[in-house]
Amino acid sequence: MSTYLSFLVLVLVITIAPGPDTALTLRASLVRGRSNGLLTMAGVSAAGAVQGLLAAGGLGAIIVASEPLFLAVKWVGAAYLLFLGSQALWAAWKGDFTRDPEAESIAPTRARGTRRRTVLQGFLCNITNPKVLAFNLAVLPQFVGGQAGLPLLALYALSLVAIGSVWLTGIVLLADRARGALTAPRARRRIEGTMGVVMIGFSATVASTH
């Protein structure tokens, strides 16, 4: 139990450090509202669970050990973050901030597609980040030992996802409370511009991962 609690403390410290998942969830919450922030969080958590189970099952080690596979994940992840950053910068430059994106997204003819895209965006942001998989593979064995079975590895990996989900949910709720003061077009333009730069910075960080 003491080992597990030590692991949770480490995970908490790592979780609160800013990363692409946090930036994307924060942007979705500030720009498009609480529901979009929660959907983004759901996509991120689903991808985190997949990565954790891959690591627990041994498939993650194959990906990291195979240079072509690892490079493919890395460059796809870097390109996707670059795309998200460029998209945010374009919105800041040319976007129409006179309408409420959250109100538009719940229109009957568009709601389902919008929700799917939002969840997928969060999923892709996490699943294409090789640092998440590398963390699982590097840290889990130090706590559970090299001979640990799949159930114990899965418990540790999914605990990481659970803490991350709680943290991102807190980010969404705090952003939603602040959103009322940030609805002016100028404020939303600044949010998009800032998040665009941040996402491009994370793209460069992922691209430098070895």
- Report the distance separating Cα 210 and Cα 205, nearest Å: 10
Closest CA to 17 of 131, 96, 178: 131
Percent of the chain with pLDDT over 90: 21
Region 57-83 average pLDDT: 77
User: Please, which pLDDT band fits residue 145 given cuts at 50, 70 and 90?
Assistant: low
Q: Give the model's pLDDT for residue 196.
A: 81
Q: Which residue has the higher pLDDT, 157 or 143?
A: 157
Identify which of 38-47, 90-99, 107-116 has the greatest average pLDDT. Answer: 38-47
Look at 30 and 183; give whichever has higher pLDDT. 30
Which among 24, 47, 18, 19 is positioned nearest to 37, based on CA atoms? 24
Tokens for 167? 């943290």
Nearest to 59 by CA among 133, 114, 118: 133
The pLDDT-based confidence of 193 (bands split at 50, 70, 90) is confident
Mean per-residue pLDDT over the chain, rounded: 80
Confidence of residue 124 (pLDDT cuts 50, 70, 90): very high
Cβ atoms of 163 and 52 within 8 Å: the answer is no
Identify the residue with better confidence: 96 or 50.
50
Cβ contacts of 144 within 8 Å, gap of 6 or more: 3, 152, 153, 156
Question: CA end-to-end span of the chain, whole Å?
Answer: 33
Task: Indicate if the pLDDT at residue 147 is higher than 80.
Answer: no
Alpha carbon distances (Å) from 204 to 20, 37, 79, 80, 118: 11, 24, 9, 11, 23
pLDDT at 37: 93
pLDDT, mean of residues 104-119? 69
Q: How confident is the model at residue 96 (pLDDT cuts 50, 70, 90)?
A: low
